[in-house]
Amino acid sequence: MKKGNKFLVYGAFFTIVLFFVFTNASAKMVVKFGHVAPPFHGQSVGVEHFAKFVMEKTNGEVEVRTYPMGQLGGERSMAEQVQSGSLQLAAITSAVMSNFVPQASLIPLPFVFPDRRTAYAVLDSEIREKLFSYFPAKGFMPLGFTENEFRDLTNSKRPIRKPSDLKGLKIRLMESPVYIDTFKQMGVNPVPMPFPEVYNALQQGVIDGQDNPLYTSVLMKFTEVNKYVTITHHILTECFIIANLDWWNSLPARIQKIMREAAYQVEIVNRGHTLRDMLSMSVMSKKDPKTGKVKPGPSIYAVARKQKVQIIELTPAEREAFKKAMTPVYSKYRSVIGADLFDAFMAKIKEVNKYAK
């Protein structure tokens, strides 16, 4: 082959290679997924699994980039971003979602779930699809759930054993009507605030306390400045995985299917991680470099007590007193949510617990 012809052949070859490189690069879809959970938390682990699953199942065609710890803003801001289309995916707590979809207030109703078993049975039933049906009209496509934990109370002022003990305290709450109504019912001065701002507000005395699971409170170092913890388990923090509706509808059916499968995987991974943490009640587990075995860190209770935190665990009678105080809240939200959905939800909880002791 003549030298000139050889250059022409090589040139044509590299042109074809570059064409495929740039074509494939431009075809790759990059998706942003925001949430507020810290690293090592079950929700973060679940979201990372979502990203890996989608990448593998699409053979790299779709890359999901995750943004934990409120890097893209507070939950309300991220929900607005998803609604407007500037963010594709987010995991937003049901309480915050109730600002956009009032029916989402169903899940964070206080003291309705006696335990996690009940919550899962209800959320995995026909109630899920009934609840999800309200989202598209608001510009969201719900794909599934992530979760945090049952929420507890921390404060810097005094032990809390009954609703009246909360009177006058400034408690940080999520920006949610149902949370605000719940704590106002107990005489609290609610202070809605994005999650990333809580530690500084506690440290500076802007607020007296906050409601988050003890596990989260220890991870986020809230117990360094709040020395009273009450294990109320008043609300289970479930988070909707939401997608922008127009963006979702623009996706090929096969990509939608993969993302739905990924969301289902998130629930398994997130719940399993949470259950593991609850059984061991440990934080900051580490892998031994020599044996490869995971060594659990100190228990959540041990870490809190080392910080000189007083932990109050409610008796059944004390917890029931809190639940009875919520009667006006239930009445109000039956109207907000709609009697049909509210009654179906409460009936399902009763059905699940019919034979439970």
From-to residues of CATH 3.40.190.170 in the chain: 1-147+238-280, 152-232+294-325
Strand order in the sheet with 170-173: 189-192, 170-173, 209-212, 152-155, 228-231, 310-313
Structure tokens given for 246: 């127009």
Share of the chain above pLDDT 90, in %: 76
Q: Round the average pLDDT of the chain to a whole number and report it.
A: 89
Q: Give the confidence band of 287 by pLDDT, cuts at 50, 70, 90.
A: low
Fold topology of 1-147+238-280 = D-Maltodextrin-Binding Protein; domain 2 (3.40.190)
Q: Which residue type occupies 177?
A: P
CATH number 3.40.190.170 given to 152-232+294-325: yes
User: What pLDDT does residue 300 have?
Assistant: 83
User: What pLDDT does residue 17 have?
Assistant: 45
Please tell me the total number of residues recorded for the chain in this structure. Answer: 357
3-state helix, strand, coil in the chain (%, to 5): 50, 20, 30
Q: Please check whether residue 103 is in contact with residue 86, taking contact to mean a CB–CB distance below 8 angstroms.
A: no
pTM above 0.85, yes or no: no
Task: Express each pLDDT in 151-180 by its tens digit.
Answer: 999 999 999 999 999 999 999 998 889 999
Q: How many CB atoms lie within 10 A of CB 218?
A: 25
Task: Express each pLDDT in 257-279 by its tens digit.
Answer: 999 999 999 999 999 988 776 65
Secondary structure string (H, E, C) spanning 213-242: CHHHHHHCCHHHCCCEEEECCCCEEEEEEE
To 10 degrees, what angle do helices 116-123 and 339-352 make? Answer: 130
Q: How far, in Å, CA of 320 to CA of 307, rounded?
A: 29
Task: Express each pLDDT in 49-102 by its tens digit.
Answer: 999 999 999 999 999 999 999 999 999 999 999 999 999 999 999 999 999 999
Q: Give the confidence band of 40 by pLDDT, cuts at 50, 70, 90.
A: confident
Q: How far, in Å, CA of 253 to CA of 242, rounded?
A: 17
Q: Which residue has the higher pLDDT, 194 or 94?
A: 94
- Overall average pLDDT of the 128-150 stretch: 96
